[in-house]
Amino acid sequence: MEKAHEIKQEMEETHQERETRKAGDFKSVESSMPAIASRIDPTTIADNLSSYLGTHNPWGHPVAATDAVWLLDNTAHRSQTFPHHWQAEFVAAYFLKDSGKDVGSVVADIAEKIGLGAEGKDEKEVESLIRSRVQPFLDAILPARTVKIDFGGPKGDRDIKNLGPAGRNGVSSQTVKISGDHNDKEQIKSEAIMPNDDDVTMVTEFAETEGWGFISDIDDSIKTTLTSSPIGILRTTFAETPKPIPGMPSLYNHISQTLSPTWFYLSASPYNLYPFLHTFISQTYPHGTILLRDSSWLNLAGFIANLTEGTQKYKVDRMQKIHDWVPKRKMICLGDSTQTDPEAYGEIYRRHEGWVKKIYIRKVTDVAEMGKTDKNLDERFEKAFEGVPRDVWMTFEDPSEVYGSLDKLMQE
């Protein structure tokens, strides 16, 4: 079974991606980004070798007090083989705490590129923010680590689950059976059993077989990222408080109240940004599972490329996984025109006709680099949605345009 975060990231440029990268002069910025030393802990040679076995590694060992663990929120679904059973994909990431090298020089490089000194912010404050955001890109990853979690329930009635061992990328991903009877939208909080005082938790939300589901892009769909500009990506990712796209929080709240869907947030951003994006979404949008790219092997130049290369193939792969989880749900997809969301959504519609009921694409017009491309042309959308009925997809510039379409969808 293919594991999340372990798929090969093939950076195949599509026409749309080439247009974006050329208009934004991405290569020149990427070539000037600082190199990063190997992120695999050099003291764990045996772990590095055995980690090729992934979760089948018999030499995995528990996290230590010097380690940091992330647990990613997930969605529990019915087993397709045994419909009365629940299961979910559990993903954990393992790092050596504060082990990143040359943090100061990397912070200085980013600060110089973005023109440090954002209006209304102290330079030291911005540098501190950059440091906190860039740290997960620099800390050593830890293959072969395992962690136990207390899956919900009071301490007196523990349901202990074993996660790991982590693979080469310092991430473990496995499908775990969940016992008991559960209701749609029910949420269970789990806690990692750590050898230190770290409070590491996650939330599992249950999704019954039928109902609505919503797949949302993140960057420039619901959060300002400026993915058409490499400097814009650096600024909004590392040096600014994240800003929601105006009108989108209200729209998503309306969708949550009227359709009560299971939410999936799908982004080409690397998993190193999970805490940053999780905090933003939890404070601004309905709770859901966040699916991100594995980028543990990337330097910062690769981080920028990650958002602009191979995104269609990656997103279709992740949506295929969501389909495997909830094939009978009625899905709505929302993305934007900066990346390859139209092409990816068109492809998944054709692959599983009838699964996706509606596709919304936000036409991004407030980024200068978009004017140098053909990404907002009608011809682009017509080609991307070839074979998709015209009443299934629509483009919009202001979220207020979507409400009427949603009301019609509810009446069908």
Instruction: Write the secondary structure of 270-281 as one string of H (helix), E (strand) and C (coil).
Output: EHHHHHHHHHHH
Question: Which residue's entry shows tokens 């045996």?
Answer: 46
Residue 30 is predicted with a pLDDT of: 80
Q: Are strands 171-178 and 67-71 parallel, antiparallel or unpaired?
A: unpaired
Give pLDDT tens digits along the chain (412 positions).
333 333 334 456 777 777 778 777 788 888 888 877 656 665 567 777 777 777 778 888 999 999 999 999 999 999 999 999 999 999 999 999 988 888 898 899 999 998 875 555 678 889 999 999 999 988 988 999 999 999 985 555 679 999 999 988 889 999 999 999 999 999 999 999 999 999 999 999 999 999 999 999 999 999 998 877 888 889 999 999 999 999 999 999 999 999 999 999 999 888 899 999 999 999 999 999 999 987 654 567 677 777 777 889 999 999 999 999 999 999 999 999 988 999 999 999 999 999 999 999 999 987 666 666 788 999 999 999 999 999 999 999 999 999 999 999 988 7
pTM greater than the 0.85 cutoff: yes
**What are the angstrom distances between the C-alpha of 113 and each of 21, 88, 232?**
17, 41, 10
350 token code pair: 């054709």
Residue 315 is predicted with a pLDDT of: 96
Q: Is 96 exposed, middle or buried (0-12, 13-18, 19+ CB in 10 A)?
A: buried
Residue 308's nearest CA partner among 25, 8, 4 is: 25
Q: How far separated are the first and last CA of the chain, in Å rounded?
A: 37
46 token code pair: 């045996």
Q: Phi/psi class of residue 4: alpha, beta or left (left: φ > 0; alpha: ψ in -120 to 50)?
A: beta
Q: What are phi and psi of 139, to 5 degrees?
A: -65, 145
Q: Phi/psi class of residue 373: alpha, beta or left (left: φ > 0; alpha: ψ in -120 to 50)?
A: beta
Q: Which amino acid is at 76?
A: A
Coil, helix or strand for 161?
strand
Total residue count of the chain as it appears in this document: 412
Q: What are phi and psi of 113, to 5 degrees?
A: -65, -35
Strand partners, 203: 189
Residue 362's nearest CA partner among 398, 389, 312 is: 398
Question: Which residue's entry shows tokens 């790991």?
Answer: 164
Coil, helix or strand for 131?
helix
Task: Give the separation between CA 258 and CA 381, rounded to whole angstroms.
Answer: 28
H helix or E strand, kind and range, residue 160: strand 160-163
Q: What are phi and psi of 182, to 5 degrees?
A: -140, 155
Who's near 137: CB < 8 A, 6+ residues apart? Answer: 36, 100, 270, 272, 298, 300, 303
The count of other CB atoms within 10 Å of the CB of residue 245 is: 18
Question: Which residue's entry shows tokens 């389909």?
Answer: 323
Coil, helix or strand for 15?
helix
H helix or E strand, kind and range, residue 28: helix 26-31
* Torsion 374-376-306-163 (CA) sign: negative
